Amino acid sequence: MVVLAENNYGKSRVRLVHVKRRPEQHDLREWTIDISLEGDFESCFVDGNNSKVLPTDTMKNTVYSLARSSSATCMEDFAQELIAHFLDQNPQVTRARAAISEKLWEHLLAGTGPHPTTFVQSSGELQITDVGRNRNGGLSVISGLNNLLILKTAGSEFVGFLKDSLTTLPEATDRLLGTSLSARWAYAPSVHSFQSLRSRIRGILVAVFADHSSKSVQHTLYAMGEAALEQVSEIEDIQLSMPNKHCLLVDLSRFGQDNPNEVFLPIDEPHGFIEARLRRG
């Protein structure tokens, strides 16, 4: 006998640009939204009966309709509005989930300050959240960021590592340390001030990366996560991924020149990959 064990369906990559037109300046957000529903959909899978299936096109339209009336000031709040709508309107749904990524637009600096209605996108960094709620409660909010490119030109070394017959990497006491940081943190259930906490956590991670006397990427990753957990009680754990963006010192001796740690060749592949999840003990 075959039974349907688990199922979900939804709409992916719903694109939304939302402009808040305040008198003194406009606010611009660009979001990409994924929606997923779980519930009593066995009749659709087994019998082809679509009477309980909300079309994914309707989910897309719901995003735009709610955006028009939304009071949300951050993507965590908007995700919760979406989830509440789908659970309220669809009794067959037992769990709803909304994942949102945000491209960062900043006010263009023009003249003496930020232009109120013109924006620039200067980074490939994405802000993200993944919000889920069961019909009987059980809200989970996991937020973070992707593709934050950071690099420091001092305060990083890598020595004393394991060597075997295939090791060719020289030890380095003064190297460039660069990474494309991805981070995820889980909020405690009582949290509501998501936007300010996001800025605070991001600031902690970047500050520790900059000032830490790094013995390895692993060493700095741990220091970053440790500081976030120690300084922000509203998060329960944090996961950090830090691929090592290598910059290799160029040998200029064949040209009769020295290279006092100034000329490098950046390479994208292959690269080291370091990842860890930290939580309070």
239 vs 150: CA distance, rounded Å: 17
- pLDDT in the model for residue 112: 86
Partnered with residue 278 across adjacent β-strands are 238
User: Regarding predicted confidence, which is higher, 82 or 1?
Assistant: 82
Provide the number of structural domains found in the chain: 2
- Residue 235 falls inside a structural domain: yes
Residue 18 is a catalytic residue: no
1 within some domain:
no
* Residues 163 and 115 grouped into a single domain: no
The residue from 135, 168, 188 where one domain ends is 135
Is the pLDDT confidence value at 137 over 90? Answer: no
Q: Are residues 21 and 65 in the same domain?
A: yes
β-bridge partners, 17 = 30
Q: How confident is the model at residue 70 (pLDDT cuts 50, 70, 90)?
A: very high
127 and 96, same structural domain?
yes
Q: Is the dihedral of CA 234, 183, 247, 218 positive or negative?
A: positive
- Categorize the per-residue pLDDT at 1 as very low, low, confident or very high, splitting at 50, 70 and 90: confident
Domain's final residue, options 135, 154, 184: 135
Res. 268: pLDDT tops 90? no
Q: What's the confidence (pLDDT) of residue 8?
A: 94
Higher pLDDT, 138 or 9: 9
Q: Give dist(CA 169, CA 257) in Å, integer.
A: 22
Residue 50: predicted pLDDT = 95
Q: How confident is the model over 138-161, as pLDDT tens digits? A: 899 999 999 999 999 999 999 999
Over the stretch 84-126, which tens digit does the pLDDT of each residue have?
Answer: 999 999 999 999 999 999 999 999 998 889 999 999 998 899 9
Residue 222: inside a domain, yes or no? yes
Max intra-chain CA distance, the chain: 78
181 and 201 housed in the same domain: yes
From the candidates 32, 52, 56, 85, give the one annotated as an active-site residue: 56
DSSP state of 233: T
Peptide bond preceding 91: is omega within 30 degrees of 0, i.e. cis?
Answer: no
**Pair (102, 219) in one structural domain:** no
Asked whether residue 256 is domain-assigned, the answer is yes
Contact assessment for residue 198 and residue 143, using Cβ atoms and an 8 Å cutoff: yes
CATH number at residue 271: 3.10.270.10
192 in active site: no
- Per the structure, the complete domain to which residue 180 belongs is given by 146-279
Residues 13 and 119 in one domain: yes
Q: How does the average pLDDT of the chain come out, rounded?
A: 95
Query: Is 231 within the bounds of a domain?
Result: yes
Q: Are residues 121 and 207 in the same domain?
A: no
Say if residue 67 is in the same domain as residue 181: no
The pLDDT, as a whole number, for residue 184 is 98
| Residue at a domain's end among 74, 102, 135 | 135
16 and 55 housed in the same domain = yes
4 has a pLDDT exceeding 90: no
Same domain for 96 and 14?
A: yes
The answer to whether the CB of 223 falls within 8 A of the CB of 241 is: no
| Residues 189 and 243 reside in one and the same domain | yes
Cα angle 117, 19, 56 (rounded to 5 degrees) comes to 150
Inside any domain, residue 4: no
The answer to the question of residue 111 being in a domain is yes
pLDDT in tens, 231-263: 999 999 999 999 999 999 999 999 999 999 999
pLDDT digit string (tens) for 271-281?
A: 999 999 999 88
Tell me, what's the pLDDT at 37?
Answer: 97
* Residue 11 annotated in active site: yes
Q: What percent of the chain has pLDDT over 90?
A: 90
pTM strictly above 0.75: yes
Per-residue pLDDT reduced to its tens digit, 173-193 = 999 999 999 999 999 988 989
Same-domain check for residues 114 and 178: no
